[in-house]
Amino acid sequence: MGSDWFRRYGQAPQDGPRLVCFPHAGGAASAFVPLSRTLGAAVDVVAVQYPGRQDRHQEPPVDDIARLADRLAEEMSALDDQRPFAFFGHSMGAVLAYETARRLEQRSAPGPERLFLSGRGAPAAAPSPHDQVRTDAHVLAAIRRLGGTTGGVFQDPDLLAMVMPALRADYRAIGAYAWTPGAPLNVPFTVLIGDNDPVVTVEEASDWRGFSAARTDLRVFSGGHFYLDHHTREVADLVAEALGVDALVP
């Protein structure tokens, strides 16, 4: 796509919408490989690769939501095609998807036709207490609570050393994030949440309704913060239906 910020794990369809996916804290673009493969040729799935991980591991990670959203809005505006697109953000990625969409709307630039906001409560004027982690030990405890990293990473000092810079930066970013008041987005939302998420309640997720001037749909799945790992097909079906593409191959 001519940008260091996006990764595509399949062949782009000739037509149809694009789904731009924003990973969770400590996550990388490859987190969306299963969703990309499940959607197949129905949707052009493109995942954001934040600095400081995988093939961008030599770049310093960005520890500020506003700076990340500013840059991602620039990158989206620079795309040279007119394909309609939507955003899918999970956890920290939901905040970034929302803030990037705000910036595109403020610039009167083409924006997403829908926001899929997953595993995250609606923004607030003060940072969430769940995001207030001050030390590496607190970061690792938070990750264990969410269940998002295999135990092998915690037991391997070399692997842990590789992932900690990105984790520290992401938790600094989301831990300092506070919503700046503004008008609701003129974009429909689809909010997705696990019914056993340890840090986000269904009620907190439903509060996203106040941030859209259009319709907001709430979908609750069985599971925890990373419910998507066990419901990839159901989420892919939901995305395809919301974007108005043909039914997926069984």
DSSP β-bridge partners for residue 219: 192
H or E element that contains 219: strand 216-221
pLDDT for the residue numbered 65: 97
> Which pTM was predicted?
0.94
pLDDT for the residue numbered 6: 95
Q: Average pLDDT of each block of 10 consecutive residues along the chain (250 residues)?
A: 84 85 94 93 93 93 96 89 92 97 94 97 87 84 76 68 90 93 96 96 96 97 95 95 79
pLDDT for the residue numbered 181: 92
pLDDT for the residue numbered 148: 64
pLDDT for the residue numbered 41: 84
Catalytic-role residue among 30, 77, 91, 118: 91
Tell me if residue 109 falls in helix, strand or coil. Answer: coil
pLDDT for the residue numbered 127: 82
pLDDT for the residue numbered 78: 85
Q: Establish whether 108 is a catalytic residue.
A: no
H or E element that contains 136: helix 136-146
